[in-house]
Amino acid sequence: MSLPFDLILRHGTLVTPAGVVHTDVGVRDGRIAALGDLFGAVAADEIDLSGLTVLPGIIDSHVHFREPGAEAKEDLATGSAAAALGGVVAVFEMPNTKPPTTTPETLADKLTRAAGRSWVDHGFFLGATAEGLPHLAEWEKLPGCAGIKLFMGSSTGSLLLEDDAGLAALLATGTRRIAAHCEDESRLCQRRPLAEAEGHPRAHPHWRDAEAALIATRRLVRLAEQAKRRVHILHVTTAEEVAFLADHKDWASVEVTPQHLTLSAPECYERLGTLAQMNPPIRESHARDALWAAITNGVVDSLGSDHAPHLRSEKAQPYPASPSGMPGVQTLVPLMLDHLAAGRLSLERLADLTSAGPARLFGLIGKGRIAVGYDADFTVVDLKTQRVIGNDQIASRCGWTPFDGKRVTGWPVATVLRGRVIMRDGELLGSPDGQPLRFNS
C-alpha cells in the first residue's frame, strides 16, 4: 500500500499566495498535494524545517550559460549546478551563444544537451533575427521555448535588430511577451571613443549612458503600444527609464538585477575594474535608489541575474576590449535576502519578483507559487544566518564573483525541485534531472 505522501516538509514558515504562514506541506508525484497541519500523516521522507523559511522555488529568468560552444567557459552542467547551489529551481537561458539559438534546430540541440546534465528545470529564448521574422510566431510555441529575445544593442553574430521597420515586423509576429535588451546601437557606436580614450572601466557608464538606454526603451515601447504586443524590458538601470516605464505598464514589464541593486559607480569600477563591467552598466547611487523605489512602488515585475560568467583571463583584457558580464545565478538569493534583512523589501515582494512574477509574465505552467497542484519547488532559506560570499563557493567555471568577501544576512540551505531535494547545506544531491519548462502558448 502506497503512503499518502512522498515527502512532508514540516514546521516551516511558508510564503504562499495567502501570505506568510506556518504550516506543513505534503508532496506527491512531484507536486504539492496538501498544505496545512499534517500531524499524523506519513510519507516516504520527512524534513523538519523548524526555524527556516520556504519560498516558492526561485526562477532566474535571465542567464547566459554559453552552451553550445562553451569550451572552457560555462555550460549547462556547471551553470545549472551554480543555480541549484544558489537556491534556484529554474532558469531561462539567453540565445547569444555560438552558434546563436535562433532556429528550431538550435533550440532542439540545447534541449538535447540539457537532458541528464541540467540540475534545474530550463527554458531557452530564441533570438530575434531578420531572417527568422517570418517564422517566429510558429517557433515561439515550440516546447522548451521561453519566448523571443530582442537585442537592440550589439551582441553575438546576427543577434541585432535595431531599425523601426524590423522592430515593427517583430512585434507584429506572434503573441508572447518579447524580452528586450534596450540600448541604442547608433548612440553606442557614436560614444565608443569615450571608452577608448579613457581606457578604464570607470568610463563604461559614460559610454553606454542613460540616454542610450532611454532612447531604445522609448522606441520599443512606442512600437509595442502601436502593435499591442507586450514587451519585457530587461535589466533596467536608469531613473529615466523607471519614470517612463511607470506610465507604460499596459504593454511593458520591467526586470532589474541584484547587481544593479547592490553595486554603484564609480566605487565598483575603482575596486573591481573590469569585473564590474556589464551591459547595461552599473550606474551611480542615484540610479540604484531609483530602482529600489521602483521595487517599492510596484513598477518592477521581476528579478533576473543576467548571469554571464566570463573567465578571469578574458576580463583581464584591456578595457574596452574586455567582455561585459558577471556571474550572478548563485548569488541572486543571498544578495536579495541581505536586502530583505536590511528592510528594503518584504518576503512577499521577494517571492513575487523571483517566482510568481516570472511565471505570470512568461506563462509558466505549474511554477511560481506554493499552492496545491503546483510543482513542489521550494527554496528553503535561513533568514538569520550570516555568511560571507566567496570565490571558492562559486560552481560556475569562471570561479569568481564580484561579491567576493561580502558578508550577507540570509542564505539558501536547501533547493527542492519537483519534490526532490537537489541541494542541502551547500551540497548537490543525487544526479541532474532538470526538465524543460512548460509554457502557455
CA distance to 233, 350, 381, 411, 422, per residue, from 425 (Å): 35, 22, 10, 10, 10
In a domain? residue 166: yes
Query: Can you give the residue range of the structural domain that contains 137?
Result: 57-362
The verdict on 102 and 237 lying in the same domain is: yes
Predicted pLDDT at 376: 98
Per-residue pLDDT, 387: 98
Q: For the chain, give the percent of residues with pLDDT over 70.
A: 97
Domain presence at residue 440: no
Mean pLDDT of the chain: 96
pLDDT band at 303 (very low <50, low <70, confident <90, very high): very high
- The dihedral through the CA atoms of 379, 55, 371, 295 has a sign that is negative
Mean pLDDT of 25-53: 96
Domain annotation covers residue 340: yes
Mean pLDDT confidence for 269-282: 98
Provide mean pLDDT across the span 346-366: 98
pLDDT > 70? residue 70: no
CATH number for 248: 3.20.20.140
Residue 102 pLDDT greater than 70, yes or no: yes
Mean pLDDT, residues 303-330 taken together: 96
Is 205 inside any structural domain? yes
Same domain, 197 and 138: yes
- Res 306 pLDDT > 50: yes
Among the candidates 323, 339, 362, a domain finishes at: 362
200: DSSP letter:
S
pLDDT surpasses 90 at 43: yes
Between 245 and 153, where is the model more confident?
245
* Domain-embedded: residue 63: yes
pLDDT of residue 440: 93
Q: Are residues 257 and 377 in the same domain?
A: no
Helix (H, G, I), strand (E, B) or coil at 218: helix
Q: Is 306 a catalytic residue?
A: yes
Residue type, 190: Q
Dist. CA 228–CA 226, nearest whole Å: 6
266-279: average pLDDT:
98
- 201 close to 217: Cβ distance less than 8 angstroms: no
Give the three cell numbers for residue 441: 502558448
pLDDT tens per residue, range 282-300: 999 999 999 999 999 999 9
Q: Does 274 score more than 70 pLDDT?
A: yes
Confidence of residue 13 (pLDDT cuts 50, 70, 90): very high
pLDDT at 1: 41
Q: How confident is the model at residue 155 (pLDDT cuts 50, 70, 90)?
A: low
Where residue 410 sits, what CATH number does that domain have? 2.30.40.10
| Confidence band for 161, pLDDT divided at 50, 70 and 90 | confident
Residue 272 shares a structural domain with residue 341: yes
Judgement on whether residues 291 and 402 belong to the same structural domain of the protein: no
Same domain, 142 and 250: yes
Three cell numbers at 436?
524543460
- Condensed to tens digits (0 to 9), the pLDDT of residues 191-212 reads 999 999 999 999 999 999 999 9
Q: Are 160 and 23 found together in one domain?
A: no
In a domain, 101, yes or no: yes
Determine the Cα–Cα distance for residues 118 and 61; give it in Å rounded to an integer: 15
* The domain boundary residue, chosen from 318, 343, 362: 362
Question: Which of 341, 362, 383 marks a domain boundary?
Answer: 362
**Sign of torsion over alpha carbons 266, 396, 102, 353:** negative
pLDDT greater at residue 312 or residue 3: 312
**241-268: average pLDDT:** 98
pLDDT for residue 23: 96
Q: Would the CA dihedral through 270, 272, 275, 276 be positive or negative?
A: negative
Domain membership flag for residue 367: no
Angle at 173 between CA 168 and CA 177, to 5 degrees: 90
Give residues with Cβ within 8 angstroms of 274, minimum separation 6: 201, 315, 316, 317, 319, 322
% of the chain exceeding 90 in pLDDT:
94
Q: Which of 79, 66, 402 is nearest to 259 (CA)?
A: 402
Residues 353 and 404 in one domain: no
Judge if 315 and 378 occupy the same domain.
no
Give the active site residue among 6, 306, 352, 377. Answer: 306
Shared-domain flag, residues 139 and 173:
yes
Q: Does 228 lie in the same domain as 81? A: yes
214-237: pLDDT as tens digits: 999 999 999 999 999 999 999 999
Q: Residue 2: what pLDDT? A: 64
Both 355 and 381 in one domain: the answer is no
List of residues 6+ apart from 417 with CB closer than 8 A: 57, 84, 89, 119, 120, 121, 377, 433, 434
Instruction: With CA atoms as reference, report the closest residue to 58 among 397, 385, 344, 423.
Output: 423
- pTM for this prediction: 0.97
Q: Is residue 437, in this structure, part of any structural domain at all?
A: no
The 10s digit of each residue's pLDDT in 404-418 is 999 999 999 999 999
For residue 411, count other CB atoms closer than 10 A to its CB: 21
- Model confidence over 116-131: pLDDT tens digits? 999 999 999 999 999 9
**Number of domains comprising the chain:** 2
